Amino acid sequence: MRQLPIALLLNSLLLLGWTGSGKGQSVKSIDVKDLNGAAAALKSTNSADRAAGLSFIALLGPEAKGQTREVVGSLFDPSADVRSWAQKALPKVDPNLAGPVMSLVQNQDPAAQLKAVQQIAQMGQNAAPAVPALLVFLEKSKGAEHLAAATALGQIGAKDPAVAPVLANIAMKDPDPKARQAAIAALPKLENPQGAIDAFAAMLKDTNPENRSTAVNALGAMAGTNKQAMSVLQKVAQSDPSPTVRAGATQAIDKTKKK
């Protein structure tokens, strides 16, 4: 665990632009003694604690790269102080990711946002900590930017447990058919698809057979790499009240077995 003397900590904070007062700057920096403490502070319900944690992470820079996802999430904190320190910390811990993420968060130009999403996607798994920013952007984006965000989420979020239910929701309900296709294509790559399978299983209880067919199609994309998805399909093929849904499940099973 990295520890910093208080004198060095305060001096470094001044270099980072801390004045000890003023909107977006106040922080009780000396309350945090090491990286573990900083990580714990980010989960505090007290905004001053969260700001303190981010200030220490900013000082550690690349040594705190493992906290990048939490720093990105802090960009959307309800506290202006916390957001301010997150903006300072991000370029310190991961300068490569900071540019496109900050552009995505701060730029209102759709073309610039689209470019930022594409840059994040091109980084692949190295951009995994950007997932919180993509999730926020996905909710408010439309058109080409929305499709790009859905695609990027699948490309960088394979190991992030928060991504599975989001992709499942896109696959089942997104009004853009291209976004639905992108989500379905990403599902088999998920390291932990449980959230998606749970969402599809819930959809299979829907009274609308078209919705159940949508869930079957998505499960079919996953069945080749996930035994649970195959098991759910087999149950649907045997017991769904709709012959169309049963036929779709059977086709998905046969297609998977032929691969």
Question: What is the pLDDT, as a whole number, of residue 1?
Answer: 44
- pTM given for the model: 0.80
Same domain, 78 and 146: no
Q: Which of 63, 93, 123 is the last residue of a domain?
A: 93
In single-letter form, the type of residue at position 45 comes to: T
Q: Are residues 184 and 225 in the same domain?
A: yes
Per the structure, the complete domain to which residue 199 belongs is given by 160-259
Number of domains in the chain: 3
Q: How far is Cα 19 from Cα 13, in angstroms, rounded to an integer?
A: 8
What are the start-end ranges of the H helices in 94-193?
95-106, 110-122, 131-140, 143-156, 163-173, 177-186
| Domain's final residue, options 111, 139, 157 | 157
Q: Are residues 194 and 242 in the same domain?
A: yes
232 touches 200 (CB < 8 A): yes
The residue count of the chain comes to 259
Residue type, 221: A
Residues 140, 211, single domain; the answer is no
- pLDDT for the residue 29: 44
132/140 Cα distance (integer angstroms):
13
pLDDT at residue number 228: 93
> Whole-angstrom Cα distance, residue 15 to residue 113?
30
**Closest CA relative to residue 155, chosen from 177, 180, 134, 176:** 134
Asked if 99 and 111 sit in the same domain, the reply is yes
Same domain, 48 and 133: no
**Regions of the chain where pLDDT drops below 50:** 1, 3-12, 14-15, 19-30
Does one domain contain both 174 and 185? Answer: yes
Examine the domain organization and report whether 104 and 83 are in the same domain: no
The pLDDT score that the predictor gives to residue 48 is 86
Last residue of a domain, one of 137, 157, 177: 157
